[in-house]
C-alpha cells in the first residue's frame, strides 16, 4: 500500500473542519500558512506565513525549558517560564536555613543569579526537516524487533550526523504514528540560572486544592537566564560565561486580555493520544488512570508522612512530591473528564464507522494485527507501571541501575548503544548524578520502594521476574530485610562515590563493589529481557499504526474533522480566544480573575497564606499602569479556549499583534482529559495575566532592573 501524504489530506481537512471547531488543534508551524484565512477570521493581525519558520521571530523566542516551555523576554538570555517548571531549580538552591521555595528569590544583579541543577536544560530549536524516507527506507519488508531496530539505527545515524556540529542536541520526531519523521536541531544551553522567583504563596497559591480548578489566583511564573561560553557557544556552568544572545525575544503587551479577544499560544506539548484505538481508550479509562491514582497517592502518603517532622527531607522531596500530586490529580481529572464526555463509547462508535469504510477494508489485516500486538502489551501492564516507577521515583536505586546499564552499553560501539547511554548523553547523566544528594533521604527511598515492591510481590506468577524475587523476596518481611541491608551498606549517597563509578562505567570498566551496584548487576539482565519484548511489540506497532492512520485520515476527511498530528514534544501552535465556560447547570465562569479573589481565599494557612506584602499592596490599591480599565482593579489569571496539554506549561500567550499577554500554566478540571479527547464545551487553558507579573515586580516584590530589561511599559 503506498504511503498517503497526510499533509494533502490535512489541507482538505482544515477547509472542512475549522468553521465548526476552530479552536481544536495543536498545529505544526509548517501547517500555519494553510490556516491563513481562519487565522485572520479569528482576529490575528500578523502574517500567518511567518509562523511557519521556527528559526525566525516570534517562534525562535519560544524554547523547551526543563519539562515544559519558556520564552526569551530580552536579548540577554532572560527567560520566562512557570514557577512549577522551574520548581526543581528553586528546590535545588533551597535549604532549611535559606528557603527559596517559601521566601522567593530576586537576584540583585547577574553576579547574584544562582546556577540551576546540573541536568537542567534549555533547548532552542534551530532546524526542522522532514526525513521520512531516510528513516523508513531501511525498515522496508521488516517486522517486529527488526523493524524497530531499522528505524532506530536510521534515526541514530541522522542524529549523529546532525550533532557533528558542537552544541547541538538533535532528535527524530515521529509524526502521525510512524507515517512521517522529522529531524529536529536544537541548541542545548547547559548553563541556566535562577533570576527571579515569587514566594511559594504567590507562585503556588492554592497548591493542590486549586490545581486544575477555576477560578485561579496564582502567580505561576519564574525568570531564568541562559548563559554560554565567552565564545558564544553552549557550555557547562562557569563564572566566566556570558548571557546567551537570543535570536528573538517577545515583548510584553502594555494592555491585557478581555473576553472575546484573539489569543495564540506556542509551546512544546508533551503527548496526546487522540488518534489512538478504541481499545486503548477503553484501557485508559478502565485501568490505567484508576491504577495511576492509587499508586501515586500511596507514594504521596509516604513522602508526606516521612517528611512531616524532618525539614531536610521535606525540602529534598519538595519537587518530587509536587510532581506526584500533580500527576495524581491530573489522572483523576482525566478520568472524570473522559467519563463525562463518554469517551470510550464515542471512540468505539467512531472506530466502528471508520472500519466500515473502503479505506479501512484495504487495511484490515494490519489493523487486526495492531490490535493483537496492543493486547500483548496489556497483559503485562501492571508490571510495566510498577517497574517504571521503580526507577523514576528513586534516586540511589536509579543511580545504580543507570551506572550498570551505562557500563554495559559503553562496551559497544557508540552507534549501537541504547539511546540515553551514548556519548552524547554522558554530560546529562553526570548532571543527574551530581544532584542526587539534594533530592534523597534513605528512609524515604526505602519506604517508596516498599510501596512499589509490595505491589510487585502481589502480581501473578506469570508477571513476576526471578531476579526481582531473588533480590527482594516474596514476603513483606523478606523485602524489609533486603532493603535495610542495601541502604545500610551503600555508599552511593556520596557524590564522589557516584562519580568515580560513573568514570568507570562510561569506559565500560568494572564498577567498584557496593550493595546497590551489585544488586543492579543482577536486575539489569531482567530489565534488558523485558526491553527486548517491549521493542518487539513497539516495532510491530510502529509498522502497523500507519495503516490505522491511513484509514483514520480517510475517515476524518469524510467527516470533515481536523487532521493535526498528536502532540509529541515538538513545537506546536494553538489559537482561539479569551473565553469563559459553563461547567454544569447554573454555573457560569467568567474568563478573568482579580486580586479580590486572593483576599477572599486567604486563610493565613497553607496553601491560602497570601504573603503580607501582597495583602498590604492589594489593600493599598495602587494598580496604576497595570489595572484592567474595565474592571478598575488588578487582574491575576485568565482563561482561553486554546488547545493545550502537559508540556505547554510556561508557553507564552500572545495577542493578535504577537505581544505577550499571558503565561500558560494549567488546564481546568473539566478539560484535563483533552490529552485523549477534545471537548469544546469544556476545554479551557489557564494563564497568568502578565499585568499581574508586572505589578508584582513593580510594587510588591520589586525588581525594576528586570522590568527595564524586559522593556515593560
Residues identified as active-site: 84, 220, 649
Which three cell numbers, joined as nine digits, stand for 707?
522590568
Q: Which H helix or E strand runs over 81?
A: strand 78-81
Which three cell numbers, joined as nine digits, stand for 317?
522531596
Name the DSSP letter for residue 167.
Answer: T
155: left (phi over 0), alpha (psi -120 to 50) or beta: alpha
In angstroms, rounded to a whole number, what is the distance separating the alpha carbons of residues 433 and 430?
Answer: 5
232: left (phi over 0), alpha (psi -120 to 50) or beta: left
Q: What torsion do the CA atoms of 176, 177, 180, 181 make, to the nearest 10 degrees? A: 120
Instruction: Quote the longest CA-to-CA distance of the chain.
Output: 73
For strands 191-197 and 222-228, give the pairing. antiparallel
664 DSSP β-pair partners: 687
263 DSSP β-pair partners: 576
Q: What torsion do the CA atoms of 444, 445, 449, 451 make, to the nearest 10 degrees? A: 20
Q: Are 134 and 172 in contact (CB under 8 A)?
A: no
In angstroms, rounded to a whole number, what is the distance separating the alpha carbons of residues 117 and 63?
Answer: 18
Q: 587-622 as b/e, with b when 16 or more CB fall inside 10 Å?
A: eebebbbbbebbeebbeeeebbebbeebbebbeeee
Q: In terms of Cα–Cα distance, which of 433, 418, 482 is closest to 456?
A: 482
687 DSSP β-pair partners: 638, 664
Q: Which H helix or E strand runs over 327?
A: helix 318-340
Q: Give Cα separations from 540 to 224, 276, 377, 382, 547 (angstroms).
A: 43, 15, 12, 21, 12
Cell match 526543581: residue?
88
Render 370-387 in DSSP notation, one character per residue: HHHHHHHHHTTHHHHHHH
In angstroms, rounded to a whole number, what is the distance separating the alpha carbons of residues 251 and 573?
Answer: 18
Q: 48-87 as b/e, with b when 16 or more CB fall inside 10 Å?
A: beebbebeeebbbbbbbbbbbbbbbbbbbbbbbbbbbbbb
Amino acid at each position: 500500500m503506498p504511503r498517503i501524504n497526510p499533509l494533502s489530506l490535512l489541507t482538505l481537512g482544515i477547509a472542512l473542519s475549522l468553521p465548526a471547531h476552530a479552536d481544536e488543534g495543536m498545529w505544526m508551524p509548517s501547517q500555519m500558512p494553510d490556516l491563513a484565512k481562519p487565522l485572520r477570521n479569528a482576529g490575528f493581525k500578523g502574517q500567518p506565513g511567518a509562523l511557519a519558520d521556527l528559526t525566525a521571530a516570534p517562534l525562535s523566542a519560544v524554547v523547551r525549558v526543563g519539562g515544559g516551555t519558556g520564552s526569551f523576554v530580552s536579548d540577554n538570555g532572560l527567560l520566562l517560564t512557570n514557577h512549577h517548571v522551574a520548581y526543581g531549580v528553586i528546590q535545588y538552591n533551597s535549604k532549611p536555613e535559606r528557603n527559596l521555595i517559601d521566601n522567593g528569590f530576586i537576584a540583585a544583579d547577574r553576579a547574584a543569579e544562582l546556577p540551576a541543577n546540573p541536568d537542567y536544560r534549555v533547548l532552542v530549536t534551530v532546524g526542522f526537516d522532514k526525513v521520512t524516507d531516510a528513516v523508513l527506507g531501511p525498515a522496508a519488508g521488516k517486522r517486529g524487533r527488526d523493524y524497530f531496530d531499522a528505524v532506530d539505527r536510521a534515526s541514530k545515524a541522522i542524529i549523529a550526523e546532525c550533532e557533528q556540529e558542537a552544541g547541538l542536541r538533535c532528535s527524530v520526531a515521529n509524526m502521525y504514528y510512524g507515517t512521517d519523521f522529522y529531524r529536529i536541531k536544537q541548541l542545548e544551553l547547559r548553563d541556566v540560572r535562577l533570576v527571579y522567583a515569587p514566594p511559594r504563596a504567590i507562585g503556588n497559591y492554592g497548591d493542590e486544592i486549586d490545581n486544575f480548578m477555576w477560578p485561579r489566583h496564582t502567580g505561576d511564573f519564574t525568570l531564568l537566564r541562559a548563559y554560554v561560553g565567552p565564545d558564544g557557544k553552549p557550555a557547562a556552568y562557569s563564572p566566566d560565561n556570558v548571557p546567551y544572545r537570543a535570536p528573538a525575544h517577545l515583548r510584553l503587551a502594555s494592555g491585557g486580555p478581555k473576553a472575546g479577544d484573539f489569543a495564540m499560544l506556542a509551546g512544546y506539548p508533551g503527548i496526546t493520544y487522540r488518534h489512538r484505538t478504541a481499545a486503548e481508550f477503553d484501557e485508559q479509562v478502565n485501568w490505567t488512570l484508576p491504577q495511576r491514582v492509587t499508586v501515586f497517592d500511596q507514594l504521596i502518603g509516604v513522602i508526606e508522612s516521612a517528611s512531616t517532622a524532618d525539614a531536610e527531607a521535606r525540602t529534598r522531596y519538595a519537587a518530587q512530591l509536587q510532581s506526584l500530586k500533580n500527576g495524581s490529580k491530573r489522572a483523576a481529572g482525566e478520568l472524570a473528564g473522559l467519563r463525562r464526555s463518554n469517551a470510550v463509547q464515542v471512540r468505539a462508535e467512531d472506530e466502528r464507522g471508520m472500519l466500515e469504510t473502503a479505506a479501512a477494508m484495504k487495511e484490515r489485516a494490519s489493523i487486526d494485527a495492531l490490535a493483537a500486538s496492543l493486547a500483548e502489551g496489556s497483559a503485562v501492564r501492571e508490571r510495566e507501571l510498577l517497574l517504571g516507577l521503580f526507577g523514576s521515583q528513586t534516586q540511589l536505586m536509579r543511580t545504580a541501575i543507570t551506572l550498570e546499564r551505562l557500563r554495559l552499553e559503553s562496551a559497544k560501539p557508540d552507534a549501537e548503544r541504547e539511546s540515553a547511554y551514548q556519548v552524547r548523553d554522558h554530560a546529562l547523566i553526570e548532571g543527574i548524578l551530581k544532584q542526587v544528594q539534594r533530592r534523597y533521604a534513605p528512609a524515604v527511598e526505602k519506604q517508596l520502594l516498599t510501596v512499589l515492591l509490595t505491589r510487585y510481590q502481589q502480581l501473578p506468577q506469570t508477571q513476576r521476574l526471578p531476579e526481582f524475587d531473588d533480590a527482594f523476596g516474596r514476603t513483606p518481611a523478606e523485602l524489609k530485610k533486603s532493603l535495610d541491608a542495601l541502604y545500610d551498606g551503600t555508599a552511593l549517597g556520596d557524590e564522589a562515590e557516584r562519580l568515580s563509578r560513573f568514570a568507570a562505567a562510561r569506559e565500560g570498566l568494572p564498577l567498584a563493589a557496593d550493595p546497590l551496584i551489585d544488586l543492579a548487576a543482577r536486575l539489569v539482565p531482567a530489565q534488558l529481557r523485558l526491553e527486548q519484548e517491549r521493542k518487539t511489540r513497539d516495532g510491530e506497532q510502529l509498522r502497523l499504526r500507519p495503516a490505522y492512520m491511513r484509514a483514520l485520515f480517510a475517515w476524518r476527511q469524510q467527516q470533515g474533522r481536523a487532521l493535526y498530528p498528536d502532540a509529541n514534544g515538538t513545537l506546536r501552535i494553538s489559537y482561539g480566544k479569551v473565553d469563559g465556560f459553563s461547567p454544569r447547570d447554573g454555573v457560569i465562569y467568567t474568563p478573568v480573575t482579580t486580586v479580590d479573589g486572593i483576599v477572599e481565599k486567604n486563610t493565613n494557612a497553607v496553601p491560602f497564606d497570601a504573603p503580607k506584602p501582597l495583602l498590604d499592596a492589594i489593600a493599598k490599591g495602587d494598580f496604576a499602569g497595570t489595572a484592567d480599565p474595565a474592571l478598575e482593579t488588578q487582574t491575576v489569571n485568565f482563561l482561553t479556549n486554546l488547545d493545550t496539554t502537559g508540556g505547554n506549561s510556561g508557553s507564552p500567550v500572545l495577542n493578535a499583534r504577537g505581544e505577550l499577554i499571558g503565561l500558560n500554566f494549567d488546564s481546568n478540571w473539566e478539560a484535563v482529559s483533552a490529552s485523549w479527547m477534545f471537548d469544546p464545551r469544556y476545554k479551557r487553558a489557564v494563564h497568568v495575566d502578565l499585568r499581574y507579573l508586572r505589578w508584582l515586580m513593580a510594587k510588591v516584590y520589586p525588581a525594576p532592573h528586570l522590568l527595564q530589561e524586559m522593556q515593560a511599559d
